[in-house]
Structure 1
Amino acid sequence: MPKSDSGRSRVSAAEVLAPVLAAQVTDLRAWEVGVRLAQPEATHGFRVAARRLRSMLAAFGPLMDQEAADELAEQLKRAAGAIGGARDSEIVQARVEALLGEEADDLDVAGTRERLSRRLEESYEASRQASIEHLDSPEYDAFVRHLEAFVDLPAWTDAARGRAEKVLRPLLRAEWSRFRKRTQRALTGTPGPEQDVRMHDARKSAKRARYVAESLVPLFGRRARRLGKAAERVQVVLGDHQDCVLTQRVLREVGEQAFRDGENPFLLGRLQAREAAAAADLRADFTRVAAAADRPSLRRWLD
């Protein structure tokens, strides 16, 4: 990247963003192959790649054809949603195995493991089939062609040709402000379903702020990296919390079905209570990492 005598970059915003967008599309297509081959972590990788691209299109939309960027972001959302069910089943399966591993190994545990495994395996297979059907659909094929054409020759606005630091710093500042507002909102109220929704929204905002900050590390260096790390810490805690919420829901549904089948759902209820306690601990962790991410020294350079 060419530098001036003062060490400031002379490149335009478009020159900074174009290679990042291209690399992310390459990453998405690589993970797509992994999903088709049922490779470990491919579903997770595909979803992350899709979210990174959506974050870029949302945050930097004003620098490109807004209508095209919005359309691609919506298609990325649909693709990630179509792939996501299998990943959710994998997450719950891992948490359930960890919970059952701490229980005494008796017939009740064995029966509960079998019931949960049957439910999660059925969900995984159905979700995986839906994933492949979406990837094989004409809709997805048209989307990929559109995405690759867009990245090969982005429709930049005049603003994107401006000096990178001057153009991109305000957009990163706006993204960080959005993240802070969502985080503060999630900290309000009493624990319950409404706060769970706010925390999930804050998690999505943390991901977006992280990915946008990371995409600008080549331009802003250590300062952008620190923002990305702070957002990542919030994202991880809220991600674990969301996994607890999801696992509790599955345990509750399986317990209700066990009761209807005339079986004793006591162990399922105990596992659900343990997940609820873990979620409470994570809410406390969220307060701590949110405060660290909101410290003025972290964002002062954005002003």
Structure 2
Amino acid sequence: MAETKREIERKYEATAETRLPDLTRAAGVAAVTDEGVTDLDAVYYDTADLRLAADSLTLRRRTGGRDAGWHLKFPVAVGVRDEIRAPLSEALPRSLAKLLRSRLRGAEVVPVVRLRSSRDVKHLRDGDGTVLAELSVDTVHADRLLAGDSTAAWTEIEVELADDADPAVLDAVEKRLKKAGVHPSDAPSKLARALDETGLAPEPPHDPAEAAGDGTAGAAVLAYVRKQIDALVRLDPAVRRDLPDAVHQMRVACRRLRSAFKTYRKVLDREVTDPIGAELKWLAGELGHARDQEVLEARLRAALDGLPRAQLRGPARGRLRTWDNARSRDARHRALDALDSPRHLALLDTLDGLLADPPLRPAARKKAAKALPKAIARDHGRLADRMGPALGLDPGPERDAALHEARKAAKRARYAADAAAPALGKPAKRFAKKVKAVQSLLGDHQDTVVARTALDDLATRSESAGEPSFTWGVLHAKQEAAAAAARRELPEVWERAAAPELRAALSR
């Protein structure tokens, strides 16, 4: 069974002659206790082309110390990583292998470097004796195991924040260390330093946007496409770990890619991108069940929480919880099955192939400032073609469906502007902001449509179980009122997004 630990630490350069200052003078630190010396032996694994290191991931098998076992570290922010731990075994544990699936794609991990460290540990404690941080002086010896036998050695100081401790203690300790002449390390991790000093540092990834030429439409579109592909790979383990918003962000990356392929079809050849778009639609659909249920449950729970006690009849909260648990479980299984499928890996490989050999059309050589506004204008026109008729329809399912189609068009126009923003600047950002307001309002309306269908289902289930359905009827009426409010606001919001000068500014 794997467990996760949030690791917040800072590293500092040291030598055998480095002496620690009196850290009880650091704010909040009342005592420093010696915890002894531990010998650690870790073998770090990666693919032969070091793709994990290139993405700042660390995979190791370590013996010695309190946490012997397999460790997989994901970067969160500077100095912050999530460490996933699994028990010691000879082979890479399956739980960690799954988290690496989007990077490994079937490739074998092999030993690349071995680090043997002598760790002199000290605990920094507050006045009650509670551990605030662990400081260690590590004497490290690195042996290259992949394609060579070079070595390296160094000494470093590592300060790791204790669980639930105030991060301010790290600032206080760093202040004392700097005054003593001890400075932060340039290396983000021991592995990064070992790879660099033994001649194994991975090459920076090739950027096809640069090959397309600065300032061209091809460069701008490829840079955006790469960003979304990177997000798909990065978010795969986040979805598996069930991290907040991970499913939503991965689904958005699929949609942004599909939109870019459609909007910028004069830049990227549709004969190549259309089949990829179909696969992205499949993946977004499989992820969508989990995301849609997540949004729906949150909406219904908030609506229940907002009702006065007199309108809560029967076991409404329990009914919602039971109903959601079953649907969420099935949706999550479906999402994970998609990520585990050969079809998903094939899609990632195809996307890599697109970046390696971009299917650029002649328009890709045009200046971004000329080509991109025209593409955005086409999407804006498409949105206008849907908004006009939708606003004129009478209430009912046909109008709900038309507004939903307009929402899709608004999302595509917004994504088109987002993709162009690095090249077009503030006009594209302003355009995206106005269109996003339309998209958001249409999204609110669609959420009420979905919620009303769910409330009908909950009412039917409650009645079948002999429970009162009154509460679900009250919520249904409130969702109808929310839909009506969104529709009243929509014409004014759309008028601001439909202004001709907003689109004209893109070409200036």
Q: State the match for 1:222 in structure 2.
A: 426
1:145 and 2:349 aligned: yes
Q: Which residue identity lines up with residue 228 of structure 2 in the other structure? A: Q
1:22 and 2:226 aligned: yes
Q: Which residue identity lines up with residue 241 of structure 2 in the other structure? A: L
Q: State the match for 1:99 in structure 2.
A: 303
Match of 2:485 among 281, 284, 290: 281
Q: What TM-score does the superposition give when structure 1 sets the normalisation length?
A: 0.92
CA distance in 1, matches of 2:355, 2:365: 16
Decide which moves more: 28-37 or 106-115.
Answer: 106-115
Q: State the match for 2:22 in structure 1.
A: none
Instruction: Give deviations 1:24-68, integer Å, cap 9, x for gaps.
Output: 111122222211110011111111111111110111122222121
Q: State the match for 2:397 in structure 1.
A: 193
CA distance in 2, matches of 1:74, 1:96: 32
Match of 2:236 among 32, 37, 40: 32
Structure 1 residue 249, shift from structure 2 partner: 0.6
**Does the CA-based 8 Å contact 1:240-1:282 persist in structure 2?**
yes
Q: Which residue identity lines up with residue 64 of structure 1 in the other structure? A: L
Secondary structure, counterpart of 1:263 in structure 2: coil
Match of 1:231 among 420, 435, 456: 435
Q: Which residue identity lines up with residue 221 of structure 2 in the other structure? A: L
Q: State the match for 1:294 in structure 2.
A: 498
Q: Which residue identity lines up with residue 134 of structure 1 in the other structure? A: A
Secondary structure, counterpart of 1:270 in structure 2: helix
1:83 and 2:287 aligned: yes
**Does the CA-based 8 Å contact 1:22-1:152 persist in structure 2?**
no
The structure-2 alpha-carbon separation of the partners of 1:151 and 1:109, relative to structure 1 and needing over 3 Å to count, comes to: farther
Q: State the match for 1:5 in structure 2.
A: none
Instruction: Give deviations 1:142-171, integer Å, cap 9, x for gaps.
Output: 111101211232110122122222222221
Secondary structure, counterpart of 2:344 in structure 1: helix
Q: Give the root-mean-square deviation of aligned CA atoms.
A: 1.8
1:113 and 2:324 aligned: no
Q: Which residue identity lines up with residue 81 of structure 1 in the other structure? A: G
The structure-2 alpha-carbon separation of the partners of 1:10 and 1:83, relative to structure 1 and needing over 3 Å to count, comes to: closer
**Does the CA-based 8 Å contact 2:315-2:467 persist in structure 1?**
no
The structure in which a higher percent of residues are helix is 1
Secondary structure, counterpart of 2:450 in structure 1: helix
CA distance in 2, matches of 1:238, 1:181: 15
CA distance in 1, matches of 2:349, 2:470: 52
Secondary structure, counterpart of 1:262 in structure 2: coil
Secondary structure, counterpart of 2:379 in structure 1: helix
Q: Where in structure 1 are there 5+ consecutive unaligned residues? A: 1-8
Instruction: Give deviations 1:111-141, integer Å, cap 9, x for gaps.
Output: 0111111111110110000000011111111
Instruction: Give deviations 1:200-244, integer Å, cap 9, x for gaps.
Output: 111111111001101111221111111101110011111111111
Structure 1 residue 10, shift from structure 2 partner: 7.2
**Does the CA-based 8 Å contact 2:215-2:423 persist in structure 1?**
no
**Does the CA-based 8 Å contact 1:203-1:238 persist in structure 2?**
yes
**Does the CA-based 8 Å contact 2:311-2:474 persist in structure 1?**
no
Structure 1 residue 102, shift from structure 2 partner: 2.1
CA distance in 1, matches of 2:439, 2:313: 33
Secondary structure, counterpart of 2:394 in structure 1: coil
CA distance in 1, matches of 2:356, 2:471: 55
Q: Which residue identity lines up with residue 282 of structure 1 in the other structure? A: A
**Does the CA-based 8 Å contact 1:47-1:80 persist in structure 2?**
yes
Q: Which residue identity lines up with residue 296 of structure 2 in the other structure? A: V
Secondary structure, counterpart of 1:62 in structure 2: coil
Q: Which residue identity lines up with residue 40 of structure 1 in the other structure? A: P
**Does the CA-based 8 Å contact 1:103-1:109 persist in structure 2?**
no
Structure 1 residue 93, shift from structure 2 partner: 1.3
The structure-2 alpha-carbon separation of the partners of 1:133 and 1:292, relative to structure 1 and needing over 3 Å to count, comes to: same
Secondary structure, counterpart of 1:187 in structure 2: helix
Secondary structure, counterpart of 1:103 in structure 2: coil
1:180 and 2:384 aligned: yes
1:257 and 2:461 aligned: yes
CA distance in 2, matches of 1:106, 1:33: 44
Q: Which runs of 4+ in 1 moved over 4 A?
A: 106-110
**Does the CA-based 8 Å contact 1:10-1:164 persist in structure 2?**
no
CA distance in 1, matches of 2:388, 2:324: 35
% identity of equivalent residues: 34
Q: Which residue identity lines up with residue 182 of structure 1 in the other structure? A: R
Q: State the match for 1:243 in structure 2.
A: 447
CA distance in 1, matches of 2:444, 2:393: 20
Structure 1 residue 107, shift from structure 2 partner: 9.9
Number of paired residues? 295
1:158 and 2:362 aligned: yes
CA distance in 1, matches of 2:460, 2:480: 17
Structure with larger RCO (C-alpha < 8 A, sep 6+)? 1
CA distance in 1, matches of 2:291, 2:301: 16
